[in-house]
Amino acid sequence: MIVSLLFGTGLALASPLTEGVERWEEGDLAAAVEAWSSVVDEGVPSWETHYNLGVARYRQGDLALALAHWREATHRAPRREEPSHNLAVVRAELGLGGRVVAEPWWLRLATANEWLGLGAFTTALGGLGGWLAHSFSRRVWPWMAGAILGLVFLAAGYVGDWQMSAYPGAVVLVEDCALRLEPDVEAPTGKTLGVGAEVGVLERFRGFVLVESSEGLTGYVPASSLAIVGDHSGWERRLRGS
């Protein structure tokens, strides 16, 4: 909890959800969406903001955006039940099937920052404990084992963070998004992905993204047609701009 407070939500700005919630309660859905969406201009949106935006988009009938926001929410708060539940619901409604390109399994237990914090704490504690135990002629190996466990946690944090930034998941936001052979709008096309399809990002290149579909097919799609998990500011700003 302490670690989580230090490295995660505890560093939150005093920017409550209230404005959007008030608009929601007044029944002004568009204003609520605007209030929550504007958060991306001010800082890093919390999981609650993404979650609420997902509910609002779902209500507006935009299932792909709802899916994208809930994936963002689960990315930030993997242990919360609400976004996971809503994800299952919207995936069932979209009915696209196939394998979901998801984050590493350990990031479903804790965020990369939480792993880093836990790893740093455990490693430091084990290392310092080892020094003290050695100085007082006590057994050192339990502390060393703790420190090594901490290194494993650190590795989980660093690797998870790298993997989510290098190979994140993404959601297709536009209809009939064709996989292209080359990063070019005139390149030959292959399979067409439906709106809401979940893909894995393999590479970004000149405004195009090389993605892997749930069936294992790869191809280039325009970056503007995707919501990339972890890149909230990119696609949310783009959508608001459009």
Partner 1 sequence: MVGAWFWRWAFILIGLSVPSLAHAQVVQLTVVSPDLEVGDVGLVRVRVQGPRPTAPPVISTDPPQGLRLAFYGQSQQVRVVNGQSARSFEYNYRVEALAEGTYRLGPAVVEFGTRSESTRPGTLRVRPRSGGSSAEVEASSVLSVEQAWTGQVVLLQRRLRSKSRILRDSWTEPVLRNLDRVRGTQPRFVEYQVDNNGQRTFVREESYPLMVAPGEEAEISATVARVGIRSQSGSLSAFSVGRSKQVIVPLDAYRIKVRDLPSPPPQFSGLVGDFSIQVKVDKTAARVGDSVNQEILIQGDGDLVGFEPAAMPSSDKFRVYEGTPAISSRVDGDGFKAEGMYSRVIVPTKAGRLSIPDYTFVYFSPTKGEYVKEVVSFTDIEVGAGASKNGAFESFMSDTDALSVDGVPSESLDEGVRPIQTAGVASTVPEPMWLRWAGWLATLPLVSFVLVRVGPSVWGVAGRAVSRLFRRQAAEESINGLLRALPEDRVERLGALERVLRRVIAALTELESTGAIDGAQVQAAREVRARLDRARFAEVDDPTLEQDIRSLASQLERLT
Residue closer to partner 1 (CB basis): 38 or 224 = 38
By the 10 Å C-beta count (0-12 exposed, 13-18 middle, 19+ buried), 172 is classed as buried
Q: How far apart are CA 100 and CA 114, in angstroms?
A: 24
Spatial CA neighbour of 237 closest among 19, 41, 50, 36? 41
Residue closer to partner 1 (CB basis): 139 or 185 = 139
Minimum distance from residue 206 beta carbon to partner 1 (Å) = 27
Q: What are the phi and psi torsion angles at 8 (to 5°)?
A: -120, -115
Minimum distance from residue 185 beta carbon to partner 1 (Å) = 23
Q: How far apart are CA 126 and CA 144, in angstroms?
A: 6
Minimum distance from residue 13 beta carbon to partner 1 (Å) = 6
Q: What are the phi and psi torsion angles at 182 (to 5°)?
A: -130, 160
Residue closer to partner 1 (CB basis): 55 or 107 = 55
Minimum distance from residue 222 beta carbon to partner 1 (Å) = 25
Residue closer to partner 1 (CB basis): 148 or 185 = 148
Minimum distance from residue 110 beta carbon to partner 1 (Å) = 14
Q: How far apart are CA 119 and CA 223, in angstroms?
A: 35
Cβ count near 161 (within 10 Å)? 17
Residue closer to partner 1 (CB basis): 136 or 206 = 136
